[in-house]
Amino acid sequence: MPSSLLRRKDVDACKEDADRSEHRLKRSLGVLPLTALGIGAVIGAGIFSAIGTAASGGANHVAAGPALVVSYVLVALACGFAALCYAEMAAMVPVAGSAYTYAYVTLGEFVAWIIGWDLILEYAVGNVAVAVSWADYFKSLLAGLGLHLPDWLSTTVDHAQRTPGLLESAPHILGVPIVLNLPAGLIIALLTVLLVLGIQESARVNTAMVVLKLVMVVGFIGVGTFYVMPAHWTPFAPNGLSGILSGASLIFFAYIGFDAVSTTAEEAKNPQRDIPRAMIATLGICTVLYAAVTLVLTGMVSWKDLGVGDPLAKALQSAGLEALAGILSFGAVIAMTAVLLVFQLGQPRIFMVMARDGLLPGWAAKVHPRYRTPYVTTILTGIFVGLPAMFVDINEAIEFTNIGTLFAFILVSVGVIVLRRTDPDRARPFRCPGVPWLPLLSILGCGVLMLYLPLITWKRFVGWQAIGIALYFLYGRRHSRLAAQQTEAAWTRTTSK
């Protein structure tokens, strides 16, 4: 590989770019709001819908059954190893950009671009799926209140084409049926406005939503415990290790988000201390809740009957708790709103840092003079997510999101090992224990989960990578600030001789 593709950005240069006045963001987040951001991102569709699919199986997955609780623990271990690697990098390089920035200082520009491109899968593409799921829960919530949105105004084109008579009954303009998922687009628009107005305001709203959804989840565990029938836990692992690993590859989506905390490094009051604490606390809290919910859910209802979009509500309904099922729908809306908020917060900051490095156009690095937020990329991300969410139902978005995130986790783990060798004397406010063995366990765990993803997901991932590589060579490589600086330095050395 040409040396130009391996050029690495110095850690100090990353910090200098972040501290420039025109790029500086507002530092206002402590460890509690950072942890709330992590929990806000993690507890969402993974606990309110994907848990049912993973337990009962599906077209591309073998059922895990009650042993899904083991799947959650295994994924938590893999994510925990990755989180410790993230924590070392975040404390050492307290700059927005997450895995993209870490790859730039350890593995070089080309790999950094690939990671930045793949993070779009985690944040933007994943959020399209979450927005569509949010709209479904919101529609159910309104129906429970006696309010009904027209079908043509609350569904995607894909779903309308599969629903007999819906396209014919929809309004037509010039003979074309008008079908859109308006709630999905509106929630993205609302959150985009909030994120432009300020990080502190956004964090406060998120914290309030996190408190509400934690009350809902803990309430489900507390009430559901009284309706558990141990007979439903037999057989515990109906498909053995294959089912457990298949379930793990699917519910990995439920853990995506803890790394979103690292995208706020330039807005944390003490990033070297608070970001590692927030990521590790997020994983610990969420793992305990996931395990408890799984045991209660599969104890209340047979795992064979959980292949529905709202498995927790179904469990409460089966116990005759219709009113609580309705309240849970409200909790799901709140939970997924928090997920949307945090992911819509993370993606613009990754774009902003890539633009600062010249790999994206310079206007994408602009920070609002009053609100100190990356408003240009925030608005663009809102458009990029909101429009597809209104028209397209991405059925395989969960697997597609998983593979991009797992790949990013692997490269961050590799980066910790590399930087320990290439820059061993640099101050590390947080040190990942057991290097290189713990990062190697992270790589192994994430690699195994990737292998259990469907073949179609791998094919789409390869196609996505091909598009990203083409864009790098067409634009990024030619406009790289690091390349220009190195060329200027070489010219200066030549002319001074």
Number of neighbouring beta carbons within 10 Å of residue 299? 20
Residue 491: per-residue pLDDT: 67
| Closest to 286 in 3D by CA, of 52, 42, 50, 86 | 42
What percent of the chain has a predicted confidence (pLDDT) above 90? 27
Cα–Cα dist 388/96, whole Å: 26
Write down the residue that tokens 């490269």 correspond to: 411
Which CATH number is correct for 3-492, 1.20.1740.10, 1.20.1420.30, 1.10.730.10, 3.20.20.140? 1.20.1740.10
Give 201-217 pLDDT, tens digit per residue: 888 888 888 898 899 88
176 pairs with which residues across the strands?
173
Cα–Cα dist 201/381, whole Å: 19
- Asked whether the bond before 235 is cis by omega within 30 degrees of 0, the reply is yes
Count H helices and E strands in the chain, helices first: 22, 2
Give 148-181 pLDDT, tens digit per residue: 888 888 777 777 777 777 777 778 887 777 888 8
Q: Look at residue 305 and give its three-state secondary structure.
A: helix
Write down the residue that tokens 């206002």 correspond to: 28
Reported pTM: 0.82
DSSP state of 365: G
- The amino acid that residue 474 corresponds to is L
- Asked whether the bond before 436 is cis by omega within 30 degrees of 0, the reply is yes
Q: What is the CA radius of gyration of the chain?
A: 23
- Strands 176-177 and 172-173, bridge-based pairing: antiparallel
Please, which residues have CB within 8 angstroms of residue 363's CB and are 6 or more apart in sequence?
A: 355, 376
* Phi and psi torsions of 173, nearest 5°: -125, 120
| Residues 224 and 297 sit within 8 Å (Cβ to Cβ) | yes
Write down the residue that tokens 């990062």 correspond to: 439
| DSSP assignment string, 4-36 | GGG----HHHHHHHHHSTTTPPP--B-HHHHHH
Cα–Cα dist 305/227, whole Å: 16
| Residues 39 and 224 sit within 8 Å (Cβ to Cβ) | no
User: Does the pLDDT at position 233 exceed 90?
Assistant: yes
Helix 109-120 with 455-471: angle, nearest 10 deg: 130
The pLDDT-based confidence of 9 (bands split at 50, 70, 90) is confident
* Phi and psi torsions of 268, nearest 5°: -90, 140
User: Does the pLDDT at position 299 exceed 90?
Assistant: yes
The pLDDT-based confidence of 497 (bands split at 50, 70, 90) is low
| Residues 327 and 220 sit within 8 Å (Cβ to Cβ) | no
For residues 10 and 300, the model is more confident at 300
Exposure string for 465-478, b = 16+ CB within 10 A, e = fewer: eeebeeebeeebbe
Identify the burial level of 23 via C-beta atoms within 10 angstroms of its C-beta, where 0-12 means exposed, 13-18 middle and 19 or more buried.
Answer: buried
- The amino acid that residue 259 corresponds to is D
Cα–Cα dist 364/353, whole Å: 9
Residue 395: per-residue pLDDT: 56
Q: Please list the alpha-helical segments (H only) found in 252-321.
A: 271-300, 311-318
User: Does the pLDDT at position 250 exceed 70?
Assistant: yes
Number of neighbouring beta carbons within 10 Å of residue 413? 29
Overall average pLDDT of the 127-140 stretch: 82
The pLDDT-based confidence of 354 (bands split at 50, 70, 90) is very high
Cα–Cα dist 355/127, whole Å: 22
Give 393-412 pLDDT, tens digit per residue: 665 666 677 788 888 889 89
Residue 323: per-residue pLDDT: 78
User: Does the pLDDT at position 462 exceed 80?
Assistant: yes
- Please report, for residues 74, 75, 286, the alpha-carbon distance to residue 238 in angstroms, rounded to integers and kept in the order given: 17, 19, 25
Identify the burial level of 88 via C-beta atoms within 10 angstroms of its C-beta, where 0-12 means exposed, 13-18 middle and 19 or more buried.
Answer: buried
| Closest to 357 in 3D by CA, of 4, 37, 18 | 18
Residue 496: per-residue pLDDT: 66
Cα–Cα dist 457/398, whole Å: 10
3-state secondary structure 121-168: HHHHHHHHHHHHHHHHHHHHHHHHCCCCCCHHHECCHHHHHHCCCHHH
User: Does the pLDDT at position 228 exceed 90?
Assistant: yes
Cα–Cα dist 357/372, whole Å: 19
Determine which of 110-124, 336-350, 387-401 has the lowest per-residue pLDDT on average.
Answer: 387-401
Task: Show me where the domains of the chain are located.
Answer: 3-492
